[in-house]
Structure 1
Amino acid sequence: MESKRQQKFGRQIQKDLSDIFQKEFKEIFGKAMVTITDVKMSPDLSAARCYLSFLLADDIDQIMEELDVRNKAIRNALAIRIRKQARIIPHLAFYLDDTAAYAAKIEALFEGLVIPPSDGIPSEEL
């Protein structure tokens, strides 16, 4: 369970990172749209796990590798934005958030279910 402080700081990191991605590092994503779905902070606020979701992305693995390569530059851009509010600039780790794809897969499975009709016996009699 995250504390209020972790949640508040995570939301601030999420907001600042989305702004940084849109303005300063848009060449990483090309035509793909990126959404930072969640940021989980460590208890001491020194590490941030950032979960990303992509739309219209051709090669997500290549984008994730590029984020790892430019992690230091992204952290530096974040430091410039939050240096007055934070004592420690958190280390960033980027993860792919595939919950939307997982939900679509489960929905497709439900759509594919074939439920045979009952034999005419009302369920109350069972």
Structure 2
Amino acid sequence: MRHTESTEGRSVRLLRVGEQVRHALSEILMRGDVHDELLATHPVSVTEVRMSPDLRHATVFVKPLLGADEEAVLKALRVHDRYLKTEVARRVNTKYAARLKFLLDESFDEGGHIDRLLRSPKVAADLKGDDEA
């Protein structure tokens, strides 16, 4: 049997199931199926889902809109993880219902930091020096 790997070392199957879980969670949160006042007032983006090789664990990376009340939103998601697990299991057909672990997505913050560094005067001076040479 041939095992297909992606560039990141995860199989295509893991990536595909992760995308299905991400879409299911996004739909559940967008429709307001979770009866939580905080989640109703704070839109949440599900940016990525990484599945374990046995598909029993899913690490869900989320980011509240505009980064508002990140810790409170994360806590609310963790409180409702059993309900979310059940709903995802209904929408994504796998042998086991994956246990959901919610984490904040820091990639946007890291991207902003790198952008600020690249736009800093010191880097701009270095780039001007390279153009003159």
TM-score (norm 2): 0.78
Q: Give % identity.
A: 25
Note the residue ranges of structure 1 that are not aligned, 5 or more in a row. none
**Which residue, out of 115, 123, 128, partners 1:107?**
115
* Aligned residue runs from structure 1 range 1-126, under 5 A: 1-23=9-31, 24-25=33-34, 27-82=37-92, 85-114=93-122, 115=125, 123=133
Q: Number of residues paired by the alignment?
A: 118
Select between 18-27 and 89-98 the one with higher mean Cα deviation: 18-27
Structure number with larger C-alpha Rg: 1
- Where does structure 1 differ by over 3 angstroms across 4 or more consecutive aligned residues? none
The alpha-carbon deviation at position 11 of structure 1 amounts to 0.9
Amino acid at match of 1:9: V
The alpha-carbon deviation at position 32 of structure 1 amounts to 2.8
Note the residue ranges of structure 2 that are not aligned, 5 or more in a row. 1-8
CA RMSD, 1 decimal: 2.0
Higher helix share: 2
Please give the per-residue CA displacement for 1:65-114, whole angstroms capped at 9, x wherever unaligned. 111111111111212223xx211010000111111111112211222223
The alpha-carbon deviation at position 43 of structure 1 amounts to 0.6
Amino acid at match of 2:113: K
CA distance in 2, matches of 1:90, 1:8: 14
The alpha-carbon deviation at position 57 of structure 1 amounts to 4.3
| RCO higher in structure (CA 8 A, sep ≥6) | 1
CA distance in 2, matches of 1:109, 1:48: 33
CA distance in 2, matches of 1:55, 1:44: 31
Distance 1:10 1:31, change over 3 A: same
TM-score (norm 1): 0.82
